[in-house]
Every structure is written in C-alpha cells, then in structure tokens.
Homo-oligomer: A and B are copies of this chain.
Amino acid sequence: MHTVCGHAYDDYIHMVRSFHGAAAPGMLLGGYMVDLGLQNISQGQIFDAICETGQCLPDAIQLLTPCTVGNGWLKILPLGRFALALYDKYEGFGVRVSMDHHLLRNKPGIKEWYYKLKPKKEQNTDRLIQEIVQAETGLFRVESVRIQSNLLKKSSMGPTGNCPVCGEGYPIQDGRMCRACQGESPYVLHELHAAEK
C-alpha cells in the first residue's frame, strides 16, 4: 500500500476522518498534493504555506505539515484555485502544486466532481475515489514560485487596549474601537446587549 507524506494510506484516511470529519475527495487530492510539494522542497527546510482555496485543502496542509492557521504558518487566500504553495519564509522561494486539467482527460469521475458536472448525489463517488487513489501524485502540476515580499512580512497586531464600547481587548491599530464595535460583529443579540448598557 502506498503512503501519503510517510503515513500508510489507511492511516492517512483515519487522520482525515478524525480531523476533517469525512474522507472527502478534496482531502485525498490534498494529501497527494502536500506529498508532492514536500518532495520538491529541500529536506529539512523550514517553510510556510499558502492555500489558494478555503475548501478541504487547508486541512490537508494542517494535518501533514507544521503549518496551521492558528500558528500563522498557513495563509488561506480566497482565490478559488485548488492549489497550494510551500515556500521558505524569508526569501519566499518555493514550490506550487495545482490541479492540472490536462491530466484529467481519462478521469471522468474526477472531472465530474471538479467541474460539478452533476449534482453531488448523482456523482459516482466510488469511481471518483478510485481514480484519485490510482493516480496518487499524478494529477498535479508543480511550479517554482516566489512569494511576493509583502506576504512574507509577519503582521504584528501591535499594542492591545480595551475597546471603549465592548470593553474587550483589541489591537489599537484597528481604530478607536474594535472592529466588531465598528460594525463587523457577527452577532445579533450581542449588539442588543451592547446597546442596552
């Protein structure tokens, strides 16, 4: 049985189910993509990651590399492309791995899923999974890339103060009050509570 980033395939599936909830096609593809990315950077290199979609792929990166959203080593950019990049965090040189549609020609199951040719319920999931697992790392394009320098800077939150409206700590650089109190709060009731004060 083949491996995904050094994990036996079945172990990877177990990790995926435990973290992501289900062995989704995007998580299988993502596993092979991360594997291919790691094969193409220097061994032992300390790297950051960019994920060009928020769907599935960030979880493969988080499971298989040291990069997570919470530690700041993984950035998710909403570009809508099923692609990732691993790059050295100082100079920005790295590798990008993306779905290559030229390699999907004989993969009707993957095409059906990727291009949403049918509603999900009508798709042939068994064929889809089989095609992904058979192809392993064979569905992707690998490019050398350099990340733009503005994305390499570690963003500092700067000093923290208490918001004069909600009373909670917030980065003072956001303005006179926190962004939630400036109108970005996602809550209905919370705003009512604030108004009652």
| Chain A residues engaging chain B, CB cutoff 8 angstroms | 19-22, 24, 26-27, 50, 52, 54-60, 62, 66, 68-73, 75-83, 85, 92, 96, 98-99, 101, 114-116, 143-148, 151, 157, 159-163, 166-171, 174, 178-180, 184-190, 193
CA of A19 to CA of B73 in the docked complex: distance in angstroms? 12
Q: Nearest 10 A-B pairs (CB), nearest first?
A: A59-B70, A146-B188, A58-B70, A145-B187, A80-B171, A80-B170, A79-B180, A146-B189, A79-B179, A58-B69
A to B CB contacts below 8 Å, 20 in the list? A19-B68, A20-B71, A21-B66, A21-B68, A21-B73, A54-B70, A62-B62, A62-B69, A80-B174, A81-B170, A81-B178, A85-B187, A96-B187, A101-B162, A115-B160, A145-B187, A145-B190, A147-B186, A147-B187, A148-B188
Q: Nearest-CB distance from A144 to chain B (Å)? A: 6
Tell me the complex Cα distance, A58–B67, Å.
Answer: 13
Q: Do the beta carbons of B81 and A27 come within 8 Å of each other?
A: no
Contacts of A66 in B (CB 8 A): 21
- In the bound assembly, the distance between CA atoms of A185 and B50 in angstroms comes to 11
In the assembled complex, the Cα of A82 lies from the Cα of B168 at a distance in Å of: 8
**Are the CB atoms of A186 and B148 closer together than 8 Å?**
yes
CB distance from A4 to the nearest CB of B (A): 16
Chain B residues in 8 Å Cβ range of A72:
54-55
Looking at the complex, which one of B20, B81, B166, B186 makes contact with A151 (CB distance below 8 Å)? Answer: B186
Report how far A54 CA is from B145 CA in the complex, Å: 26
Q: Looking at A22, A68, A169, A185, which has the most chain B CB atoms within 10 Å of its CB?
A: A169
